[in-house]
Structure 1
Amino acid sequence: MQFCPKCNLRLKKGTCQKCGYTEAAKQETKKPTGDMDKSFTILDESDGKETLPTITIDCEKCGHNEAVWWMLQTRSADEPTTQFYRCSKCSHTWRNYA
């Protein structure tokens, strides 16, 4: 939100409605900083399987009885979380709405 430096009213589309002050267009460029957190990485679909918890459950596709699981809030906050399962053998993924 921008304000007029002369009369302190809120600028609408860069112009003051009271005194006619017009703000010059500013071009902001964001430069990457060198102090980024190098420890943060994004995992692929197959990465990190060994870090996810496992559960004994039958796969709907191949019948294997071990899968990794995780939970996400896919609906509104007052609804329960959705549990996702991925088969350790065939990588078939399915969900359970608790």
Structure 2
Amino acid sequence: MEFCDDCGSMMKTEDDMWVCGSCGYEKARDAEADKKAVTTQGQESSEVVDTSEVDPQDMGPTTGARCPECGNDRAFYEMKQIRAADESETRFFTCTECEHKWREDDH
């Protein structure tokens, strides 16, 4: 991502140039810098994390989270980055009593 040196607006690419859509300023693209750029392309979908084969003693730490199934107030938890890096992690819970699994996302 590039920002205009003149007005600070985000620039777009046109062939081998960066072009500002606001003021028209142009500058040449740097091929080496473009290779180092991180994109979110290909990170649009998330995957399901299956913890059904994990033994309860291997689930890790617990927290005070109320199970929506049985009302128990303790659950194992795990945090995973399943969306783009600029979005918050998803918390996965497993009830310590009934082993119901649910997740919690920040929106």
The TM-score normalised by the length of structure 1 is 0.50
Amino acid at match of 1:77: A
Native 8 Å contact 1:70 1:83 kept in 2:
yes
Q: Which residue of 2 aligns with 1:67?
A: 75
Q: Which residue of 2 aligns with 1:30?
A: none
CA distance in 2, matches of 1:73, 1:81: 5
**Residue ranges of structure 1 left out of the alignment (5+ in a row):** 1-42
Alignment equivalent of 1:82, drawn from 69, 90, 97:
90
Higher helix proportion: 2
The TM-score normalised by the length of structure 2 is 0.46
CA distance in 1, matches of 2:90, 2:55: 21
1:1-98 alignment, distance < 5 Å:
45-50=53-58, 52-98=60-106
Native 8 Å contact 2:59 2:77 kept in 1:
no
Distance 1:47 1:58, change over 3 A: same
Native 8 Å contact 2:89 2:105 kept in 1:
yes
CA RMSD of aligned residues (A): 2.0
Amino acid at match of 1:72: K
Amino acid at match of 1:59: C
SS of aligned partner of 1:49: helix
TM-fit CA distance, 1:84: 0.5
Report percent identity of matched pairs: 38
Amino acid at match of 1:71: M
Distance 1:85 1:44, change over 3 A: closer
Q: Which of structures 1 and 2 has the bigger CA Rg?
A: 1
CA distance in 2, matches of 1:46, 1:85: 13
Distance 1:44 1:62, change over 3 A: closer
**Residue ranges of structure 2 left out of the alignment (5+ in a row):** 1-50
Distance 1:94 1:53, change over 3 A: same
